Structure 1
């Protein structure tokens, strides 16, 4: 490797991550010993820094310099589309496996706060890089990683073997954990959740930690750091914004537009109104999170027009209610139509105003408690339920 490549490669990425505060000194030796390029396949779709969009395919065999630059940039790298069904060069419909953004990888490892001798369960092996980092730090014998997709697991096992690391890699349903390898001091998930599985809490020792991306159906996601208590509950605050692919078994099958309208044309029997809240104001990541907590069982989509205006559609998961809010650039009020037993735009307005009334809290003020009676989100204090 040339000196120029090294400067722009691992050393450059390490310096950037340390400057951001993501890579702590206790992980630096592991970062150097477990190079990311050993855990990235030849074909990747680099993402933009916030992880919400993928660029065109980069093929190591055709453009090794571009591939190397992408690998040692602080960006996520999509490695699979549509559960492996999409195999062409173009971007697929839905990214379903990746090598995560390094800032997020090391931020979550910092949240995990591992100590020598501890046992860790990882949910979502992916390319194997995260399992490799944990194995180098704690010893392979103390790391178990679960991957649902057999083909993805096979690739990860090869990557780990090539790096002389041998954590236990299990092909199975991550929701169930892996009791044969427990109990665990730490559990980390590298896939998005809407529901923290009970099995994870049961397989974590009291005082242990669960670190996972958690989000609402409406949108918004952040890393939650749960401390498991003696009574079998787990509670803790969110630490940072995130955007992960959903755990496959927790992907909701959303009803379609036609499911809601049942052959009718908009506005059907909807009630018209006017709102002073702009649809643009509810689109931020933390705003979506707050709205999702207060408006459960709802999701949205956007219909864009050539003049810069758009319609924000809000639907209920039971296909019984819908709402539209029309955004027009420069407008001070916005046309709204709602139909069904739920007035979804009214609920959205109320949730947004609740968020503003509480000081427009960022993710770090929110928390989550998981117990036998389900999970409950809170603001600032576990007794202050959202």
Structure 2
């Protein structure tokens, strides 16, 4: 090994040890077996570059940046790993929380939805052995890159190009399913491919649900107390379509009234959980100092000067306000006070200690 490469390896090893020590000290890793797995898998092999945006545009940070690159890779932060923002490397603390929620004993077969960089598949492979790990992603390029990086790190789990909505029946059944992408509804295929007693750990909106399958095929569980902002399982609408919708929201003529709540409710971490769960198709953003909300049905809203102006097919901001009002009336319950029950009737959200559901998730579109 050349001296520059040896020096890089030494620095990476030191940075990795420091990161894992911080994750343990901060309570993010509590299982010694996962501590060993995180200590064994070098994250920099899976994030050879990342993209950082600022007012000047997007820049690439890679090994040529030396300490800046390694310092970021071995920090507990989310890193965007493709220029078009279709893939990223999740903050290690969130990864640790989700992996530990699987409650693995060591001999389970696990399906991962969303291969991404391959780092999560490497951690699972280290913990269980590569033969027990199956990972799928809809993007062939990402799968090819992940396969190369995993092989460099010494792991050969089963990787496949597939739509995660359908799971991967060819290699099932599974003892656990973990998703590394945002969903708004748990696909039926995941439960069908899961053994009785198996667990699903998946982002739902801005939270993470952990549900276990019962003997009758139903599943139930609760949300973790951690926030989670993942990229969606399916592609977002084309940028030009979103851009057109934003322009309509900024300039459209609609009905105006005083608003009950402004867009700052989306900056409240716990409120955001409930809003994303109940209104998953609403996108809220600020453009040139003006808050706008858009929805795929063509509904739009513009908030400025104490007024909300709405137009299109529905009243998107009125719906958001109603959902937020319900959450406030319930006492501002945090994520971990919500339960998810999946049955033939649907997917219902309950508050802990209450027998009646407070929301039913909408099925995935065909």
What is the deviation of 1:106? 0.9
What is the deviation of 1:13? 0.2
Residue 140 and residue 318 in structure 1: after superposition, are their counterparts in 2 closer, same or farther (change >3 A)? same
The separation in 2 between residues aligned to 1:237 and 1:155, in whole angstroms, is 34
Match of 1:385 among 349, 358, 363: 358
1:161-205 residue CA offsets vs partner (Å, 9 max, x unmatched): 222222111122121111121111111011111221111011111
Q: Does 1:5 align with 2:11?
A: yes
Structure number with higher helix proportion: 2
Point out where structure 2 has 5 or more consecutive residues left out of the alignment.
1-5, 360-366
What is the correspondence of 1:228-247 to structure 2 with a 5 Å cutoff? 228-239=213-224, 240-247=226-233
Tell me the residue number matched to 1:361.
333
The separation in 1 between residues aligned to 2:75 and 2:140, in whole angstroms, is 28
Task: Judge conservation of contact 1:47–1:75 (CA < 8 Å) in 2.
Answer: no
TM-score for the superposition, normalised by structure 1: 0.80
TM-score for the superposition, normalised by structure 2: 0.84
Residue 140 and residue 276 in structure 1: after superposition, are their counterparts in 2 closer, same or farther (change >3 A)? closer
Residue 232 and residue 303 in structure 1: after superposition, are their counterparts in 2 closer, same or farther (change >3 A)? same
What is the correspondence of 1:10-159 to structure 2 with a 5 Å cutoff? 10-24=16-30, 25-41=32-48, 43-45=49-51, 56-60=59-63, 62-82=64-84, 95-159=85-149
Secondary structure at the residue paired with 1:127? coil
Tell me the residue number matched to 1:178.
168
Task: Judge conservation of contact 1:185–1:205 (CA < 8 Å) in 2.
Answer: yes
Task: Judge conservation of contact 2:12–2:42 (CA < 8 Å) in 1.
Answer: no
Residue 277 and residue 140 in structure 1: after superposition, are their counterparts in 2 closer, same or farther (change >3 A)? closer
Secondary structure at the residue paired with 1:96? coil
Match of 2:301 among 303, 306, 323: 323
Task: Judge conservation of contact 2:12–2:70 (CA < 8 Å) in 1.
Answer: no
Residue 71 and residue 323 in structure 1: after superposition, are their counterparts in 2 closer, same or farther (change >3 A)? closer
Q: Does 1:314 align with 2:293?
A: yes
Match of 1:375 among 344, 347, 354: 347
Residue 317 and residue 383 in structure 1: after superposition, are their counterparts in 2 closer, same or farther (change >3 A)? same
What is the deviation of 1:313? 2.3
Task: Judge conservation of contact 1:367–1:382 (CA < 8 Å) in 2.
Answer: no
Task: Judge conservation of contact 2:260–2:321 (CA < 8 Å) in 1.
Answer: no
Point out where structure 1 has 5 or more consecutive residues left out of the alignment.
49-53, 83-94, 216-220, 328-333
What is the correspondence of 1:219-230 to structure 2 with a 5 Å cutoff? 221-230=206-215
What is the deviation of 1:232? 2.1
The separation in 1 between residues aligned to 2:220 and 2:355, in whole angstroms, is 8
Secondary structure at the residue paired with 1:130? helix
Superposed CA RMSD in Å reads: 3.0
